[in-house]
A and B are shown apart, each in its own frame.
Chain A
Amino acid sequence: MLRVFRSKPKYVTVRSSAQQQPSKIDDDQPERAKKEVPDNLWARCEKCSTLIYNKEMEKTKHVCANCGYHFRIPALERLRFICDEDTYKPFTPLVATNPLGFPGYESKLEQTRINTRLDDAIVIGTTRIHGYATVLGIIDFSFFGGSMGSVVGEQLTRGFEYGIKHRLPVIVFSGGGGGARMQEGIFSLMQMAKTAQAVGKFKEAGLFYISILTHPTMGGIYASFSSLGDIILAEPNALIGFAGPRIVEETTRQKLPADFQTSEYALHNGMLDRIVTRGDMKDVIGKLLSYHLR
């Protein structure tokens, strides 16, 4: 039994003001990650600056009670919000190698594994949500910006294959998909094809896939499996797009719209089915699963 479901998280995420605006976060800047502070402190809402007691944050699932701002949360914590208690069973853990011999990649992987207690940027397994059995994958921003290298690509592919084999739906939270794992070069790029094909085969089998976009879902993650859901949901105020806002700004030398690449922008432009708050997410998923029983 994983302790994930029993213990409270030791840390809460607080981002500095430089990271407040979704437009300041770039898919090419995976290291601009969270700062962690012990849980006996207050957190400041990045949008409305309200001080929130961390005990309060627990209850609200890390959503500001004042303005509805959704803080970024670790994948393991999201598991607790989504899964029925004691039902999550992880897949065989995989770890990255260094296929290009990229300098410093191995040591950075090692350090990140220690810091995050994750194997790579994805947490994936089977679970039940409101009683419905499903495959569930969650990408975690704290691991190389939630970027997709060989491990994320392989685990997701196994997820869809498991779904086909056991006739289960698949739910993926592209929670902080920072795009490509640059250190894996072409291998990272090819995971876009691999995962898109896994989704394709899964759909051919007549099965149901919900893709949920959370802050930020960018680059190669957005341009592959996460755009291919039968239903695509997003949390409010997530950054969603292909090119990073900084790149867009530098290339076009135009001022970006205030809501550029937000969930609300994507919904308005017809790229999403719905925006769903973290508080409602589990119920909405449960309802959608109940409509697609196999």
Chain B
Amino acid sequence: MSTVFEWEKPLVELEDKIKELRTFITDQGIDFSQELTELEHKAERLRKEIYEKLTPWQQVMMARHPKRPTTDDYVKLVFDDFIELHGDRTYRDDQAIIGGIGVFEGEPVTIIGPQKGRDTKENIARNFGLPHPEGYRKALRLMKQAERFHRPIIALIDVVGAYPGIEAEQRGQGLVIAECIEQMSFLKVPIICIITGEGGSGGALAIGVGDRILMFEHAWYSVISPEMCANILWKDSSRASEAASLLKLTPTYLLQFGIIDDVITEPLGGAHRDHNAMGLQLKAFLRRYLTEIRKIPIDELVAQRLNRFRQIGQFQERALPNLEKDGD
């Protein structure tokens, strides 16, 4: 199965033509190299034209591309070793979030992240990567374990939101997310959060409090998904593309707002086009930022982390009284 978005079609057609020409050249032994070079240049131009000017909604679609690497792909691509650890020690093992200890450049680190499936069967087992409270409890348990053994934490975030289910509510989805956010904020270990795909609301923020917050080029991060936003604004989720523009959920905006620290560029056309290149890129960014924050004394690092969030918000002091006052 291959997913081709509408806006990619001219490019894909051109790429197919190039492939055909190549085969033709090999088979027939006729020299069409000039034509081939021309076509390749044209494809290159088209690729830039298309992928460097994606609309916010196209960005969201890219973040959801079915062939986009998932959390455990990055675990394999970036870390030398990984031992997965399961369960929240209270209720069950939520496979919508994975976690464990990996080795990054010779040093053990704790890795956590929501895990989407690659096919229907895996998606059902992993609940489409939508965590229940026990998933967040597992993540929190592993993060506290990391703190105990002074291991940095790497949170790979790709989640449209916490699961809106009856049992999830019954078992305290809101409470657990609050606890995750609070406790992660004070952990005395370096934390790097990376939004690799979707960053949807509290379900993402629950594992999104860190010392460096990075975001993939074709990822989105907002308080609400564009579909839900459109549903609220116009009672019409098919207008999600308009909502995506209003929400300013792309890395360019979020960098400007000071919400994230850096944007991790993707191979032209998106991470799904070249998993290995994407892995190398992620590795380079992790190396750089982990080295940077490891130098900071831990109490100072936690203070900086808290201060960062303390500063977020835009408001004004109101000069004139609004409530009626008595004459006295």
Chain A interface (Cβ < 8 Å from any Cβ of B): 1-4, 6, 28-29, 90, 92-97, 99-100, 102-103, 113, 117-119, 150-151, 153-154, 157, 180-182, 184-194, 196-201, 204, 218-220, 222-228, 240-244, 247-248, 251-252, 254, 256-257, 260-261, 265, 269-271
Contact = CB atoms under 8 A, between A and B. Distances in A.
B324 interface: yes
Contacts of B317: 92-95
Candidate in B206, B312, B324 with the most chain A CB atoms within 10 angstroms: B312
Nearest to A266: B172
Given A223-B178, A227-B175, A261-B169, 5 more contacts: A189-B202, A223-B206, A227-B179, A228-B182, A270-B172
13 contacts: A1-B325, A93-B322, A95-B316, A117-B323, A180-B201, A185-B223, A186-B257, A192-B202, A193-B205, A193-B209, A196-B182, A197-B310, A223-B174
Contacts of A242: 162, 164, 168-169, 173-174, 177, 202
Interface string B173-189: 11101110111011000
B224 A182 contact: yes
Nearest to A256: B166
Given A154-B315, A187-B257, A190-B259, A2 B325 contact: yes
A2 B323 CA distance: 7
Contact of B181 (A188, A218, A224): A224
B223 A186 contact: yes
B315 A97 contact: yes
Contacts of B254: 186
A192 B196 CA distance: 21
Interface string B258-280: 01000000000000000000000
A125 B191 CA distance: 35
A193 B318 contact: no
Contacts of B246: 100, 102-103
B228 interface: yes
Nearest 9 Cβ contacts at the A-B interface? A243-B164, A150-B313, A242-B174, A227-B178, A222-B174, A189-B223, A223-B177, A242-B173, A223-B174
Contacts of B231: 28
Given A3-B324, A248-B164, A190 B173 contact: no
Candidate in B223, B232, B316, B325 with the most chain A CB atoms within 10 angstroms: B223
Contact of B178 (A150, A182, A225, A260): A225
A1 B325 CA distance: 6
B76 interface: no
A150 B164 CA distance: 25
Interface in B177-227: 177-179, 181-183, 185-186, 201-202, 205-206, 208-209, 221-224
A100 B248 contact: yes
Contacts of A187: 257, 312-314
A251 B314 contact: no
Contacts of B326: 1-3, 6
Given A99-B257, A117-B323, A185 B247 contact: yes
A95 B185 contact: no
Contact of B205 (A185, A189, A252, A256): A189
B249 interface: yes
Given A99-B314, A154-B313, A252 B178 contact: no
B318 A228 contact: no
B297 interface: no
B171 interface: yes
B165 interface: yes
Nearest to A241: B169
A191 B317 CA distance: 18
A96 B313 CA distance: 9
Contacts of B171: 269
A150 B314 contact: yes
Given A94-B315, A180-B224, A248 B181 contact: no
B178 A29 contact: no
A247 B201 CA distance: 14
B74 to A, nearest CB: 23
Contacts of A153: 313
Candidate in B163, B178, B257 with the most chain A CB atoms within 10 angstroms: B178
B166 A219 contact: no
Contacts of A244: 164
B318 A95 contact: yes
A113 B322 contact: yes
